Structure 1
Amino acid sequence: MTSLHAFGDDVLDDLDAVGLVERIQSGTVSVPEVVDAAIARVEAVNPDLNAVAWSAFDRARVLARDPHGGYFAGIPTFVKDNVDVAGMPTQQGSDAYVARPAKEDGDFARMYLATGLLPLGKTQLSEFGFSASAEHARLGSVRSPWHRDHTAGASSAGSAALVAAGAVPLAHANDGGGSIRIPASVNGLVGLKPTRGRLAQDKMMRDMPVRIVSDGVLTRTVRDTAAFYREAEKVYRNLALAPVGDITRPGHHRLTVAVVTESLGRGASPEVRELALKTAALLEELGHRVTEVDAPVPDSFRDDFLLYWSMLAMAIVRAGRLNQGRSWDAAKLDELTLGLARHCRRNAWRLPLSISRLARSKARSARFFEEYDVCLTPTVATATPLLGHLDPAGGYEQTIERLMDWVAFTPVQNATGEPAISLPLATTAAGLPQGMMFAAGAGREAMLLELAYELEAAAPFARIQAV
């Protein structure tokens, strides 16, 4: 294993965000010390990981002298480079244009930073978030700190790599097809995609015909994820959803759990299926009622989701000059972005029906969760691929087939809007993390977090510093 991490005996130690909050509040360490240590860790690992899209270290040091209020006051973080943060460019993993610094925080960043989190910069992603691996001919590839020959997974790769490597305790991620949960799986992290509308979102995300994108965080512990949602709820509260509240321990109710190991016409690999069934067996040992079932997904879902995904690419390509100005150069777009746009142009006549079916998937899934509390699947269908396997330079047809083979489970909740969490409960024969995903009905994040606490205690998560 060629793992890489920054854990050491500085003021960050191996603490999660909640642990750092406690040390800062006790006066044991200061915010400037914490920020300086995080910057040093980022500088140590980023040359190998290629996780940082934009650094704002000098600004962070200034903010550290008088951090914003909030529970997470002064805790260092990063924001994924597809949401606006005032004073930082939003490059979206592409070099097809030159981004200017944003004039103000977007709606999500405003909520996120109001919790007290202090941004050190922005993190690298796949071009416009379309690929499940951040690989780019000119911007480079984001590497897994667990094994630098492997992808760090999905468009939130940069955030995941920095959290897993110990540079910061938590970072922003967002998820339009699995990009909170997939990098969580690949990097041994906790990744909760919340219910649609749970958190504040930027206007572009809110205006989608089917709002498939959700923002959230990647963390190393369940309590950090739970604390983030508790604090975010103090800033932004969707009154249409039951509150998450302050979840600090496992729940007492035994749950009915459906186990699914095949989805979107793709089955999990034999190794990953076996790991999922071992997780199911653990749930039974803990007293939950477990049943293996077929995926509650229609045969049309794969094609519908791909066409919707390609519609987003076509919109970006067509409006590039209008949105990005004279620097826009479509010739610099990667083959996946261009191939998706072509797919939409050729199949545009099917879009109305596809959008309608995706919108109706919420009702179908809600009926499923009237029978089951939770659905367990592998987060991804196979072990983490090597860099190059999903490289867009391989051509659209090859790349999209490989992506669909790997990402067979996560897109469902993007269409239905329901919550799902990936937990680092398994390890492959090669020693790499393999996440297991738990989905639930809309608004039931509290139940998922209670289950996550229980599983974290029963099967402690592997740590990179122990490799």
Structure 2
Amino acid sequence: MARLGSLARLDGVAQAELVARGELSAAELLEACAERIEALNPLLNAIPAVDLERARAVRPPAGPFSGVPFLVKDVTPYPGLRWSVGSRLFATHVAPQGTPYSTRLDEAGLVTVGKSATSELGLLGSTETLLDGVTHNPWDLSVSASGSSGGAAAAVAAGLVPLAHASDGGGSVRVPASVCGLFGLKPSRGRCVPASLGTSDFGALTSEHCVSRSVRDSALLLSLTEAQDAGLPPVGYVREPIARRLRIGTWTRTTMGEEPEPAVRRAYDEAVALCVSLGHDVEPVVPPALDGPALGDAFFLVAGAMVAGVVGMIGQLRGRPVERHELEPFSWALAEEFQRRGPDAIAGARAQFATSAERYLAAVARYDVVLTPTLATVPWRLGHLSPVLPREELLRRTAHAVGYTPIHNIAGCPAMSVPLHWTDEGLPIGIHFAAAPGGDALLLGLAYQLEAARPWHHRWAPYSYPRLFDA
């Protein structure tokens, strides 16, 4: 197993190539993954549900990722595995069936070994739930892996799996990628086949994809999960760096009108200089005139409507109402606020989204790409976004940190966080790039270029399998 230990350093494409060449079997990849999970998951708490016996019974097809171990975020159903959405309300629920998205994962040859931890209902930017406890960041165990895809990001950053499913309704792919030193792409709205079984205003903001250590893993998975009827220019498998000069607009002010912390500003300045050195035309621009407080209010209003809908549905199905203690305080407070304001308020939230998207797209229409920080702050300590804190305090803290990413969900744009900087204390800081709707291939081409110019593959977290076990 010593030789298999080095598999933790390989991305998914490289692992699948070993299987395709007959140098390793899919079973050996799985057993090596099982060893890594057994060694490190008790420390990180990134994977609350593992089913290795089921995974051992899988005979993966000869797909591009054949035999590669994989995790599905626990907000998304995967047949036969727990589907708790991070909530005590669904603690014992098992998904009876999959979705078009899970079917594509299987057809790609990925072997789903379990479910990654998420904040309750995917609502908070920290993965520390009353159901599963705290997920730790492999770069610093006292720091949050953020959310809502925190379990996926922690698992990939620790080398437990080479890539993992993640979903993004306001930054939930890009923010965990940033704080865990990974690549995270949020595709254009409608780019991928459906991964959920229902619809809501909040769900309409969400894009499915992954967090990964390499750009090519992300690019390959996107080509395998891409919808053919999305009404967008097809992406296919982007394999190479972009070959043309881009016009890149940049700013640092968040939608709340705040500037980033000094360490984040330094990371941003380095990224601007890097893009200039690569031959791109980079110019600072005035950020779009968005009403940040109103936009945040609309975002969490539709989140509250989603929670209230879940509460009502479960109450009807089981014949008794959902009680306060079955949800986390933050989730319950969002539902209460929606009910206080009434369903007519949703029309105002939709109007706010439409106006904000129109203003954003008009402001950036002259540029191929927009560059900002991913977050306004360095990674935060565990407890900073705990679901037991008062609703208003959590909204304030979230708005302060996550001031760049939600507008791209609202406008339907593809966007990505690229791991280009680490603080003096060794914490990752991602840099954010976004394009117009449909510009996924352009972003991936830029990501390849950045990856080649400022490689990050050699950087492993202190609490990762390669670092702890010298793999």
TM-score interval, smaller chain: over 0.9
In structure 1, distance between residues paired with 2:46 and 2:319: 27
2: CA distance, partners of 1:227 / 1:83: 21
2:60·2:106 contact (CA, 8 Å) conserved in 1? no
Q: Quote the residue 2:460 is aligned against.
A: 464
d(CA) in 2 for partners of 1:387, 1:370: 38
Q: Distance in 2 between matches of 1:379 and 1:137?
A: 27
Matched, 1:441 2:432: no
In structure 1, the residue matched to 2:225 is 232
Structure 1 residue 240 displacement after superposition: 1.0
Q: Does residue 400 in structure 1 map to residue 395 in structure 2?
A: yes
| TM-score of the aligned structures, taking structure 1 as reference length | 0.93
Residue 267 (str. 1) matches residue 259 (str. 2): yes
| Paired residue total | 458
Paired with 1:90 and 1:325, the residues of 2 have a C-alpha distance of 21
- Deviation, 1:43, is 1.1
Q: How many angstroms does 1:55 deviate by?
A: 0.9
Matched residues in 1 for 2:185 and 2:7: separation?
Answer: 24
Deviations 1:370-412 (A, max 9, x none): 2011011111110000101111222222222111111111111
Cα 1:160/1:331, change in 2 over 3 Å: same
Q: How far off is 1:100 after superposition?
A: 3.0
CA contact (8 A) 2:99 2:197 kept: no
| Residue aligning to 1:342 | 336
In the TM superposition, residue 323 of structure 1 has moved relative to its aligned partner by 5.3
- The DSSP-based 3-state class of the residue aligned with 2:124 is coil
- Percent of paired sites with the same residue: 36
Asked if residue 142 in structure 1 is aligned to residue 135 in structure 2, the reply is yes
Find the counterpart in structure 2 of residue 312 from structure 1: 306
Counterpart Cα distance in 1 of 2:302 and 2:419: 30
1:11 touches 1:29 (CA, 8 Å); kept in 2?
no
| Contact persistence 1:8–1:14 (CA under 8 A) | no
| Alpha-carbon distance, 1:205 to partner | 5.4
Q: Which amino acid aligns with 2:363?
A: F
Does the aligned pair in 2 maintain the 1:417–1:442 contact within 8 Å?
Answer: yes
Give the counterpart of 1:61 among 44, 47, 56.
56
Change (3 A) 1:363 1:210: farther
Work out the CA distance in 2 between the residues paired with 1:121 and 1:210.
23
Return the alpha-carbon distance in structure 1 between the equivalents of residues 454 and 264 of structure 2.
17
Following superposition, the deviation at residue 336 of structure 1 comes to 1.1
**Counterpart in the other structure of 1:374:** 369
For 1:7 and 1:193, locate their aligned partners in 2 and report how far apart those are by CA, in whole Å: 36
- 1:16 partnered with 2:11: yes
CA distance in 1, matches of 2:113, 2:321: 27
Q: Which of these residues, 192, 217, 241, is aligned with residue 232 of structure 2?
A: 241
Partner of residue 175 from structure 2, selected from 162, 170, 182: 182
Instruction: Give the counterpart of 1:156 among 149, 157, 164.
Output: 149
* Between 9-18 and 187-196, the greater mean CA deviation after superposition: 9-18
Residues 342, 242 of structure 1: alpha-carbon distance in 2 compared, 3 angstrom cutoff: same
Letter in 1 for 2:62: G
In structure 1, what is the equivalent of residue 296 of structure 2?
Answer: 302
TM score, norm. by length of structure 2: 0.92
Equivalent position of 1:3 in the other structure: none
Of stretches 435-444 and 108-117 in structure 1, the one that deviates more from structure 2 is 108-117
SS in 2 for 1:381: coil
Look up the SS of the partner of 1:403 in the other structure.
helix
Shift of 1:302: 2.7
Distance 1:250 1:156 in 2: 27
- Give the letter aligned to residue 89 of structure 1: R
Partner of 2:144, secondary structure, is coil
Structure 1 residues 172, 327: CA separation in 2 closer, same or farther (over 3 Å shift)?
farther
Contact 1:80–1:172 (Cα < 8 Å) also in 2: yes
CA distance in 2, matches of 1:21, 1:260: 40
CA contact (8 A) 2:191 2:230 kept: no
Provide closer, same or farther for how the CA distance between residues 274 and 80 of structure 1 changes in structure 2, counting only shifts above 3 A. same
Deviation at 1:324, TM superposition (A): 6.7
Which of 422, 426, 438 aligns to 1:427? It is 422
2:282 is matched with which residue: 267, 280, 290?
A: 290
CA deviation after TM superposition for structure 1 residue 327, in Å: 9.7
Q: Given the alignment, which residue of 238, 250, 266 partners 2:241?
A: 250
Q: Following TM superposition, by how much is the alpha carbon of 1:417 offset from its aligned partner in structure 2, in angstroms?
A: 1.0
Q: Structure 1 regions of 5+ residues with no counterpart? A: 1-5
Unaligned runs of 5+ in 2: none
- Describe the SS at the equivalent of 1:290: strand
Alignment pair present for 1:365 and 2:360: yes
Report 1:35-46 matches (<5 A): 35-46=30-41
Contact 2:68 2:111 in 1 (8 A): yes
Write the distance in 2 (CA, Å) between the matches of 1:264 and 1:253. 30
Shift of 1:227: 1.3
Aligned counterpart in structure 1 of residue 215 of structure 2, from 219, 222, 225: 222
Q: Supply the distance in 2 between the matched residues of 1:269 and 1:427 (Cα, whole angstroms).
A: 14
SS for the counterpart of 1:78 is: strand
